Amino acid sequence: MSLSWILRITRNGSHLFLSHRPSSYGFLLSNNSQSSTRKVFNCRETYSWTVPSFHVFKHQIHHQSSSLVEEQLDPFSLVADELSLVANRLRSMVIAEVPKLASAAEYFFKMGVHGKRFRPTVLLLMATALNVSVLETATGSVGDALTTEPRKRQQSIAEITEMIHVASLLHDDVLDDAETRRGIGSLNLVMGNKVAVLAGDFLLSRACVALASLKNTEVVSLLATAVQHLVTGETMQMTSTSEQRCSMEHYMQKTYYKTASLISNSCKAIALLAGQTTEVAMLAFEYGKNLGLAYQLIDDVLDFTGTSASLGKGSLSDIRHGIVTAPLLFAMEEFPQLRSVIDQGFDKPENIDAALEYLGKSRGIQRTRELAAKHVNLAAAAIDSLPETDDEEVRKSRRALVDLTQRVITRNK
Per-10-residue mean pLDDT of the chain, 413 residues long, equals 35 36 38 36 35 37 41 81 89 82 77 68 96 45 54 94 92 80 78 88 93 95 97 94 94 97 98 95 98 96 72 67 93 95 90 93 96 98 95 94 94 81
Distant-in-sequence contacts of 329-333, Cβ < 8 A, 24+ apart: 329/246, 329/247, 329/248, 329/251, 329/364, 330/1, 330/362, 330/363, 330/364, 330/367, 330/368, 331/355, 331/358, 331/359, 331/361, 331/362, 331/363, 331/364, 332/246, 332/358, 333/1
Residue 270 contacts residue 283 (beta carbons within 8 Å): no
Distance CA 218, CA 215 (A): 9
Distance CA 170, CA 186 (A): 8
Query: How deeply is 317 buried, as exposed, middle or buried, from its count of CB atoms within 10 A (0-12, 13-18, 19+)?
Result: middle
Where do the H-state alpha helices sit in 99-246?
Answer: 99-105, 118-129, 142-145, 151-176, 187-191, 193-213, 217-239, 242-245
Residue 409 contacts residue 374 (beta carbons within 8 Å): no
Distance CA 291, CA 406 (A): 10
Does residue 126 come out as left (phi exceeding 0), alpha (psi in the -120 to 50 range) or beta?
A: alpha
Tell me the pTM: 0.78
pLDDT value for 207 = 94
Beta bridge partners of 16: 9
Residue 303 contacts residue 331 (beta carbons within 8 Å): no
pLDDT value for 183 = 67
pLDDT value for 321 = 84
pLDDT value for 302 = 92
pLDDT value for 59 = 43
